[in-house]
Amino acid sequence: MFAAPTISEEILDLKKSRHAILLAHHYQEPEIQELADVVGDSLELARKALRFEGDVIAFCGVWFMAETAKVLNPTRTVVVPDHKAGCSLVDACRVEDLREYRRRHPEHVVVSYINTSVEVKAESDILCTSRNAVKVVNSIPADKTILFLPDKNLGAWVQRETGRENMKIWQGACIVHDTFPARRLLDARAAYPEAIVVAHPECTAAVLRHADFIGSTSAIIEYCAKSLAREFIVMTESGVAWSLERAAPHATFHYVANENCNCSECPYMRMNTLEKLRDALETLEPRVELAEELMSRARLPLERMLAIG
């Protein structure tokens, strides 16, 4: 008598039959990351999507990431486990508002964080991720005024790092990183005095001023893996634990709860499940469908970012 296949086995079989690749963000549930061909941050996954040669991309993250994969792979099928997996930063920047800003300030250079809708990307001059935002801003001539959107904390950190005075910053924020209280970080430092604090630049300035290292999700993982320290306080989404524990098995990691849920989890990232991933590969739904003209306009600022690195 044969045992029924597990959901994980069904996913792997479907991945093979569909000639699919499974891309997963560091913030996904561990059981999804374990099945992924690539686990990474937004920049790594964008690059991997660009080089993919199969038929189907199953993107386990949030919707804007899958849109980015589709823009880079317009002829391939891109599916997501849950269409409702959104992002507070995407919600904070409506394309109508950006178009109105551009109408009033046509001379400004629009730098959009990758955590934006494809429509906003199409209205932008260049994109960035948390990993390359400083490099992108530094690539723009110093006499140009920049509009950085939509994350106010990332924008403020980039402005401090670059010394760029002529920089306007949109006032959006991540519902996870923006609500980490500095007082809880200080409590954690008192409880673990030997721990190194690593923080994502989407955190507030009140948190970042206490960090020993500031960087993107993958940069945090790389830093911890290379560090000789044996204890870290991690100021980012706790889904990164899967990657951190594998990259730095010598270390112990502590996570600080935010104000919204008394946890450090993104509710949108947690909407994806193995069952939904299996169904997406089976039915090829929910599928990312974008107009060619929109993808063409969004691809240009995306390629400009990828050219910078």
> What residues does 253 pair with on adjacent strands?
232
pTM comes to 0.94
Angle, helices 63-72 vs 292-308, to 10°: value is 90
For the cut 70, the answer to whether the pLDDT of residue 1 exceeds it is no
State residue 2's pLDDT score. 59
pLDDT averaged over every residue in the chain: 94
Residue pLDDT, tens place only, 57-90: 999 999 999 999 999 999 999 999 999 999 999 9
State residue 52's pLDDT score. 76
State residue 45's pLDDT score. 84
State residue 224's pLDDT score. 98
State residue 68's pLDDT score. 94
What's 177-255's CATH class? alpha beta
Q: What is the distance between the alpha carbons of residues 51 and 212, in angstroms, rounded to a whole number?
A: 34
Domains 7-84+269-290 and 89-173 share a fold: yes
CB proximity list for 140: less than 8 A, separation 6 or greater:
109, 111, 126, 146
Nearest 5 degrees, angle CA 58-CA 280-CA 53?
30
**In this structure, are residues 151 and 89 in contact, taking their beta carbons and an 8 Å threshold?**
yes
Classify domain 89-173 by CATH architecture: 3-Layer(aba) Sandwich (3.40)
Given the candidates 3.40.50.10800, 3.40.50.10190, 3.20.130.10, 3.30.2270.10, the CATH classification of the domain at 7-84+269-290 is 3.40.50.10800
Nearest 5 degrees, angle CA 97-CA 98-CA 104?
95
Question: Which is nearest to 268 in space by CA: 33, 81, 77?
Answer: 81
Domain ranges of the chain: 7-84+269-290, 89-173, 177-255
